Amino acid sequence: MQTKKQSFIEALTNTAIGFFISYASTFLIFPLVGVSTTASTNLMVTIYFTIISILRSYTLRRIFNKTRNKN
């Protein structure tokens, strides 16, 4: 079983790697769908989605840990 701190560190590490992939992807994907942005706009969008991803990943990990301990 993971502690809350371990869950957070795992979620943060996973998301940090995803952050760089997502940021780079915005320069490729946005123009493909006709969205014109700047590097700073891409960064802000990536930051917002990164925060959401950390919260989602941490919450799911805690739910799975709680569910596993009930069995």
pLDDT at 55: 87
pTM: 0.70
Cβ atoms 23, 43 nearer than 8 A:
yes
Structure tokens that stand for 51 in this block: 């925060």
- The string of pLDDT tens digits covering residues 20-45 is 999 999 999 999 999 999 999 999 99
Provide the token pair at 41.
């706009």
Could you tell me the two tokens for 15? 């998301």
Domain boundaries, the chain: 4-70
Phi/psi for 35 (5° steps) reads -100, 120
